[in-house]
Structure 1
Amino acid sequence: MSVTDDAIEAIKQMIVDGELKPGDRLPREADLAERLGLSRNSLREAVRALSLIHVLDVRRGDGTYVTSLDPSVLMDAMGFVVDFHRDDTVLQFFEARRVIEPVVTGMAATRMPREDIDGLATLLDSLGDSPTAEELVANDLEFHRRIAAGAGNPVLASLVESVSGRTQRARTWRGITQEGVTERTLSEHRAIQQALAQRQTDVAIALATVHIAGVEQWIRQTLVDQP
């Protein structure tokens, strides 16, 4: 389990134990980090993650508060996390992606129209400097969908979209909890786009394999290998 996951668990436990109640303001960052034995950076990432799934409400210039914890909101938020950590089959979908998508990417290197390859660069530029996890994943899904379509095989494109869609929650949780994931994802996507633009089939296949395997390895460490 990552340090950020430890921080998330610590804050959740304070809520479950009743130490933090709906509407309560969290202690100062420095005080809470020291009390929980965490770095301020890990605590900050945990707060960000819990705010994205609506357990905490970050009010700029005011502080961070526990939400009303309306049962429907809380169940949806916690269900997001619990479902991800219990669903071992997500790793199987990433394994399937690693087998299928590099081949499809190699096909796109020879078949994808130039204007569509240029459109991939525009798509990546549209993400901006500080996207949310949801925005990053939406951009990621669209990037891979366009490449699959560019391979010129509708059957493979449909298969990629189906398999990729089943990994959305895992990718969102990675975007929330893994430090530097936005920069890494964009860097890898840009490298793939450039390989496609240069019609470098073997390079495109290799880059796609490394890209997907990196996410798969994170899933394996976070989901499967944790005690």
Structure 2
Amino acid sequence: MSEAPGSARSQTDVVIQGIKDMLTRGELQPGSRLPIEKELAALLGVSRGSLREGVRALATLGVLETRQGDGTYVTALDPAALLSPLGFLADLQQPAHAADLLAVRRVLEAESVSLAATRITDEQLTGLEAILARVDRTLEDEDEDALDLEEFINADTEFHRAIAAASGNPPLAALVDALVGRTFRARLWRAISNRGSVREAQREHRAILDELARRDPGRASIRMSTHLLGVEQFSAEHADEDPEAT
């Protein structure tokens, strides 16, 4: 007998919750192979069809992976992979709500840069300097009105991602990376560039790097907060404008 749509949906939820419980109890670990379909369906008290639906949902979320001819396994449960769907939230934000997302980013990045100031290595500092040096060379060679934004989008992404990674907190780094997706970041940089503020943003990045080099968590956090607050306010003030048409 086939299940009604509502019943199938609730049974799928049973599968998701059941596997989650097995993970939290330690019965399944990262890299573990799930029991065969017949056994797992009986264990969870669901049909095989509902089990497959639940497994597909967890695979989409990055919790499980199915290997052809070898069964279904728990992934490494990497924070970056599990939190990557947040990138959709960032990229789908309308201009009117962008400042709200940037406020969350400001809180997270102020903490990540503070942690990074106490943990960053000389090699990581050298990497950050190299990123900003690329931007400096571009600014020296071109007028701001004629800048290739791709370089700045890439540099901005690398700079903030590298600082978050230097925090030594993978879930925090993953949140920072996911909350400002590439589409959203490109919109911001396009608007910033159109108003001649690229050099100002570069100066603020340099100030952040200076405090990281001093290993000063308090001042690094203030510099990052000030930088992102400016971006947040800019976004709020121009929420009704279409950056594509500016």
Contact 1:175/1:182, CA 8 A, preserved across alignment: yes
1:186 to 194, 202, 223: 202
Stretches of structure 2 that go unaligned for 5 or more consecutive residues are 1-90
- Equivalent residue letter for 1:156: L
Stretches of structure 1 that go unaligned for 5 or more consecutive residues are 1-82
Structure 1: distance between partners of 2:190 and 2:131: 22
1:222 aligns with 2:232: no
2:171 equivalent in structure 1: 155
CA deviations 1:132-163 (Å, max 9, x no partner) are: 22221221111000000000011001000001
1:105 aligns with 2:105: no
1:174 equivalent in structure 2: 191
- What does residue range 130-141 of structure 1 map to in structure 2 within 5 Å? 130=142, 131-141=147-157
- What does residue range 1-227 of structure 1 map to in structure 2 within 5 Å? 86-127=94-135, 128=137, 129=139, 130=142, 131-165=147-181, 167-179=184-196, 181-223=197-239
Structure 2: distance between partners of 1:157 and 1:86: 24
Contact 1:108/1:151, CA 8 A, preserved across alignment: yes
Per the TM alignment, residue 195 of structure 1 is displaced from its structure 2 partner at its CA by 0.4
Structure 2: distance between partners of 1:223 and 1:204: 28
CA deviations 1:74-121 (Å, max 9, x no partner) are: xxxxxxxxx999532322210111111011000000011111012111
Structure 2: distance between partners of 1:98 and 1:190: 17
SS in 2 for 1:152: coil
SS in 2 for 1:199: coil
- Equivalent residue letter for 1:184: E
Q: Cα RMSD between the aligned structures?
A: 2.3
Structure 1: distance between partners of 2:172 and 2:212: 18
Per the TM alignment, residue 171 of structure 1 is displaced from its structure 2 partner at its CA by 1.6
- Equivalent residue letter for 2:216: Q
Relative to structure 2, which stretch is displaced further, 97-106 or 168-177? 168-177
| Residue 213 to residue 174, structure 1, CA distance change in 2 (3 Å) | same
Contact 1:170/1:219, CA 8 A, preserved across alignment: no
Q: What is the count of residue pairs matched by the alignment?
A: 143
Contact 1:107/1:151, CA 8 A, preserved across alignment: yes
Query: Structure 1 length as normaliser, TM-score?
Result: 0.58
Contact 2:112/2:164, CA 8 A, preserved across alignment: yes
Contact 2:95/2:235, CA 8 A, preserved across alignment: no
SS in 1 for 2:193: helix
Per the TM alignment, residue 199 of structure 1 is displaced from its structure 2 partner at its CA by 0.3
Structure 2: distance between partners of 1:168 and 1:138: 10
Moved over 6 A (4+): none
SS in 1 for 2:239: helix
Relative to structure 2, which stretch is displaced further, 160-169 or 207-216? 160-169
Query: Structure 2 length as normaliser, TM-score?
Result: 0.54
Structure 1: distance between partners of 2:123 and 2:198: 25
